[in-house]
Amino acid sequence: MPDYPYATIHQMIHGDSTAMKEIKDQSIDLVVTSPPYPMIQMWDAIFSAQDQEIGNLLERGYGLKAYERMHDILDKVWAECFRVMKSGAILCINIGDATRSIDGEFSLYPNHARILSSLTDLGFSILPEILWRKQTNAPNKFMGSGMLPGGAYVTLEHEFILVARKGGKREFKGVEKQNRQNSAYFWEERNTWFSDVWMDLKGARQEIGEKNLRERSAAFPFELPFRLINMYSAKGDAVLDPFGGLGTTILAAMACGRNSRAYEQDEELSRVFSPEASNFTGFANKRQEERLARHVDFVLKRFEDKGAFRHKNTCYGFPVITGQEKELVLDGLTSLKKTGNGCFSAEHGLLEAAEEKQDWTRLFDGNKKTAPKPKRLEKSKKSKSPLVQTSLFD
């Protein structure tokens, strides 16, 4: 387990790297974050508050100079991430490029390329990125003069999830080896999650209540950090989000049985983070139950199409495609409580599935007999085995 038993949201000014000084060197296993996007107008004030010259440059029409000074602020955060990350730890950054007219001149500002350059200079190894396709069906989505050549521009309908690693491939030792085995994902999940284009995630409008908060939040959907945390970390790992926003990364970490820590400058945004008061336990367990249910559906269909399986999951008894899925165990939240200002403690136990009680042996005998019909998943029950404890913040 990480050195700290709890994780707290601190009031952090975006780009102020000194706020993370309290985190120990080489103590973080995974960073998942989405910073303010340079040159997107809704975040001009945030950057200008850190560097007054940015606002002056924008007013005078110096877009590229303002763009570079915005990234100078983010560079300090990436440097701090490098410091606190362990060798082999992964950094995931959700970022979009910007298009903007400054002093009458329209231009693209390639935020993803500028960040990749900064990460390379810091010593990160750049890994394959993911394109998050955010489609729009608006009939007037094209920019420029429409049907006349030379005056219209391609509409940006994707964002990037940049992936970088500090040092070489991570080594798992001691209890980490078992945690890694228990944190496996299903074969069919791997095929979707590790695609370089995600087209099935929709942007999420956060129902915060106050209109002004909704307009400045721009949070990514829960499924985005949920996938990344499952892809790049193991149970008990420490996850960091230096731009906490509405706490979506923290909620995903809690659902996955990871410890977590985040920073957010906006006190109003941090106050709305209240998982114990919003039935997050039920939401998180439902998402994990969906993973089990989808796997059962996959197994039954594949059995009909391909025949018997070779491997069996030791916890649930159902078939799996590979031997690496044998020790896969999904945990459900069994308790969630606030332990301090912006500090939460969560306990997890084995998420049980009705499919455990099926006679799965018929799917291993090599004959295409009638596959068992799936039953509804039972509600998660508290396991008698030791609980995995994680920390969240508000």
Spell out the domains of the chain, with CATH numbers in brackets. 9-137+153-273 (3.40.50.150), 280-334+347-392 (no CATH)
- Residue 299's contacts (CB-CB under 8 Å, 6 or more residues apart) are 309, 318, 319, 363, 371
Q: CB–CB of 37/216 below 8 Å? A: no
| pLDDT (0 to 100) of residue 156 | 87
Q: CB–CB of 378/354 below 8 Å? A: yes
Rounded Cα distance, 166 and 123, in Å: 7
| pLDDT (0 to 100) of residue 11 | 33
Band of residue 264 on the pLDDT scale cut at 50, 70, 90: confident
Band of residue 52 on the pLDDT scale cut at 50, 70, 90: very high
Mean pLDDT value across residues 52-73: 97
DSSP state of 255: H
9 pLDDT more than 60: no
| pLDDT (0 to 100) of residue 357 | 63
Band of residue 216 on the pLDDT scale cut at 50, 70, 90: low
| pLDDT (0 to 100) of residue 45 | 94
The mean-pLDDT minimum among 67-71, 146-150, 294-298 falls in 146-150
Rounded Cα distance, 115 and 111, in Å: 6
| pLDDT (0 to 100) of residue 220 | 86
DSSP state of 69: H
The predicted model scores a pTM of: 0.86
330 pLDDT more than 80: yes
Rounded Cα distance, 293 and 295, in Å: 5
C-alpha dihedral sign at 315, 320, 323, 324: negative
Burial of 277 (0-12, 13-18, 19+ CB in 10 A): exposed
Rounded Cα distance, 360 and 339, in Å: 43
Band of residue 342 on the pLDDT scale cut at 50, 70, 90: confident
Report which of residues 372 and 345 the model is more confident about.
345
Q: Which two tokens stand for residue 23?
A: 């985190």
Mean pLDDT value across residues 239-265: 90
Q: Which amino acid is at 147?
A: M
